[in-house]
Structure 1
């Protein structure tokens, strides 16, 4: 697993590179001074909004602290290492960090490549070590097999008159969205004890 841990604003900035074409998920933990939570949240939503508008970004998230004094977590998901590197050196990101008010600081950073990012957080947002790759492959198969079968049974017959390329362009995003937001979270919950043994 390609993981980068860092402390401080510049630590682990570029990290290790995963395989060519692998998705990159970045988790950043920032500790916020008491009383400045509202201004930090506004800053965090600003930088996440800028990241979401960056080419190659696949999604962002902001996880609130689990308890008093715990850090906030920012999640950024990119299509590949090239898109991630472009964001890291972008003027939009630099402009966001130019507005840091000094009341929050980066305390940890993790960079996950490929499918590891899908399994890196619990439903409540707590971070965890991803399972072995073969377990991720099994869980993904369990999630995608019935999903693909259902889509093909219900939708494919209605699209039979379309060219194969057009059908693929219509069905692939649908399957991807259902996989990310429905099937994979459900399977991860179902197989939690097997994926993440105590």
Structure 2
């Protein structure tokens, strides 16, 4: 799961905030189940800074959120002049539906499931027809790996972007279907 936090930093306090943010991110990285992090600087003006934590699962994220170490970092953030303006927890497919730079919530899981099914179905059908017959001589673990790679690439770069674009209004609740 991924935790995305947007914080607005008052002008002139960017260096102290960045030092604080790097410290809290480094501290979180030592927690069991923490898979990585990122700090994205503001693009300027009133645009927020983004802190990203990746965790193995919800329990690992919750352990960090409830930890004394995290509480200590927040107890020591006075004078840094930053405010949390948005927080999102992404558990998987939400990233396919997120508009870059937006803090808009992801669509409901049932809408994401329908969208993913609409993307997977034609890939599965075409893969079964064109790809599978050429893989019959390979051991199962190799043919499965080839199918997984091809399907993943097609889902990530072709099918999901197209489906999420076509269904954007329905997914976001702004009309459509």
Please indicate the TM-score interval, normalised by the length of the shorter structure.
0.5 to 0.7
Residues in 2 aligned to 1:82 and 1:61: alpha-carbon distance in whole angstroms? 20
Matched, 1:121 2:98: yes
* Structure in which a larger fraction of residues adopt helix: 2
User: What are the ranges of 5 or more consecutive residues in structure 1 without an aligned counterpart?
Assistant: 1-23
Give a deviation string over 1:84-126, Cα, whole Å, max 9, x none.
4577699xx9xx99xx8x6463514534354463356214x21
The 5 A counterparts of 1:68-83 are 68-83=45-60
User: In the alignment, which residue of structure 2 is the partner of 1:168?
Assistant: 144
Length-normalised TM-score, structure 2: 0.62
Q: How many Å apart are 1:27 and its aligned residue?
A: 1.3
Match of 1:145, SS?
helix
Match of 2:104, SS?
coil
Give a deviation string over 1:48-67, Cα, whole Å, max 9, x none.
79989x98677866666576
User: In the alignment, which residue of structure 2 is the partner of 1:31?
Assistant: 8
Matched, 1:140 2:116: yes
Residues 119, 131 of structure 1: 8 Å contact kept: no
Give a deviation string over 1:55-81, Cα, whole Å, max 9, x none.
867786666657622322234444422
Give a deviation string over 1:4-52, Cα, whole Å, max 9, x none.
xxxxxxxxxxxxxxxxxxxx23111122232565886798789879989
Residues in 2 aligned to 1:148 and 1:46: alpha-carbon distance in whole angstroms? 45
Residues in 1 aligned to 2:95 and 2:173: alpha-carbon distance in whole angstroms? 17
Q: CA RMSD in A?
A: 4.4
Match of 2:161, SS?
helix
User: In the alignment, which residue of structure 1 is the partner of 2:84?
Assistant: 107
Residues in 2 aligned to 1:49 and 1:58: alpha-carbon distance in whole angstroms? 12
Residues 10, 81 of structure 2: 8 Å contact kept: yes
Match of 2:107, SS?
coil
User: In the alignment, which residue of structure 2 is the partner of 1:156?
Assistant: 132
Q: Report the count of equivalent residues.
A: 174
More off after superposition, 57-66 vs 43-52: 43-52
Matched, 1:192 2:156: no
Structure possessing the higher radius of gyration over alpha carbons: 2
